[in-house]
Amino acid sequence: MLRPLCREIVDLLHRLKPEDWERPTIARAWRVRDVVAHLLDTALRRLSIHRDRSVPPPAVRPMTTERDLTTFVNDLNATWTRAAERLSPRVLTDLYARAGGDLADFVETLDLHAPAVFPVSWAGETRSVQWLDLGRELTEVWHHGSQIRDAVGAGPFSDPRWLQAVLEIAMHALPHAYRDMPVRSDRSVSIRITGRAPRAWTLHGRVGTWEMGEGQRPDATATATMPDEVAWRLFFNALSPSEARSAVHVDGDADLARPLLHARSVIV
């Protein structure tokens, strides 16, 4: 899915007016041009480190906590977007078209079941299988592309199956989000997504841990229902806690659904 997704982003960038590049996005302080620069940055980083095995400079400070990792990633992102201020929209678009194509070429050669180069930290993992790491890459491209589309009023992406895949990957954040919730085999949370990309999953207690499964359980202790346009904003850090509480409808045990409202499938 990565190749057509990158191509659709580039097609939109070619159609933007100069003023569109300065529009604010839901990515906090980032404008459209900053989001495009970030997409370019992440593609080049993946190609450099993963494809080319180039060793990046070490972190200035040790990363021993999730907060350390968040600070490190924020610093990486900020230095790149500041440097990209020197680049024109055309240059950014042309560079991303090339990097996105090269990234798709590389990803399509990989063994999905091999060990990942990058662990998926928001899933609580220190080691990951490659399909989850590459799925995380897809979610990055999709949600930043959606931030651009939202900012310029372009509407959703053409293929709702991309969002279905993004949400399927995003759900892997939930067992980690529920790590402090006591596990009981008779408790479960169903998540029902409505809209153009309808799906359902259930988080249930099993042998001392929380596990995700596909489908909705009619006897779930709590059922959270939300439109797909709410779901991606929730998991990719674009809703405040109060907005999440208003947008997600919960039936059953509201306390059991609370960690869901704070789950994030992104580091920052």
pLDDT digits (tens, 9 = 90+) for 59-116: 777 777 878 778 888 888 889 999 999 999 999 999 999 999 999 999 999 999 999 9
Does 195 reside within a domain?
yes
Q: Predicted confidence band at 58 (pLDDT cuts at 50, 70, 90)?
A: confident
Q: Predicted confidence band at 130 (pLDDT cuts at 50, 70, 90)?
A: very high
Residues 75, 204: one domain?
Answer: no
Mean local confidence (pLDDT), 229-258: 94
Does 88 reside within a domain?
yes
Does 166 reside within a domain?
no
φ/ψ (deg, to 5) at 184: -140, 140
**Token pair of 156 as six digits:** 């959703």
Residues 34, 122: one domain?
Answer: yes
Cα–Cα dist 169/62, whole Å: 29
The CATH number given to whatever domain includes residue 223 is 3.30.1050.10
Last-in-domain residue among 126, 158, 190: 158
Answer yes or no: is pLDDT of 252 > 90. Answer: yes
Cα–Cα dist 267/115, whole Å: 20
Residues 193, 104: one domain?
Answer: no
Does 10 reside within a domain?
yes
Contact between residue 157 and residue 8 where contact means Cβ atoms under 8 Å apart: yes
Paired residues of 24 in beta bridges: 31
Q: Which domain holds residue 12?
A: 2-158
Tens digit of each residue's pLDDT (9 = 90 or more) over 138-177: 999 999 999 999 999 999 999 999 999 999 999 999 999 9
The CATH number given to whatever domain includes residue 31 is 1.20.120.450
Last-in-domain residue among 158, 182, 206: 158
Tens digit of each residue's pLDDT (9 = 90 or more) over 17-40: 999 999 999 988 899 999 999 999
Residues 152, 210: one domain?
Answer: no
Mean local confidence (pLDDT), 114-135: 95
Short-list 235, 266, 258, CA closest to 122 = 266
Last-in-domain residue among 103, 123, 158: 158
Residues 116, 191: one domain?
Answer: no
A 10 A CB-CB count for 20 gives 19
Q: For the CA atoms of 180, 183, 187, 189, what is the dihedral angle to 10 degrees?
A: 40
* HSE (side-chain half, CA atoms, 13 Å) at 60: 5
**Domains held by the chain: number:** 2
Residues 113, 82: one domain?
Answer: yes
Residues 154, 178: one domain?
Answer: no
Tens digit of each residue's pLDDT (9 = 90 or more) over 207-239: 889 999 999 999 999 999 999 999 999 999 999
Contact between residue 143 and residue 165 where contact means Cβ atoms under 8 Å apart: no
Cα–Cα dist 132/125, whole Å: 10
Does 267 reside within a domain?
no
Does 98 reside within a domain?
yes
Does 268 reside within a domain?
no
Looking at residue 66, what is its pLDDT? 77
Beta-strand ranges (E) seen in 16-68 are: none
Residues 70, 180: one domain?
Answer: no
Cα–Cα dist 92/84, whole Å: 8
Q: How far is CA 23 from CA 31, 80, 162, in A?
A: 5, 19, 25
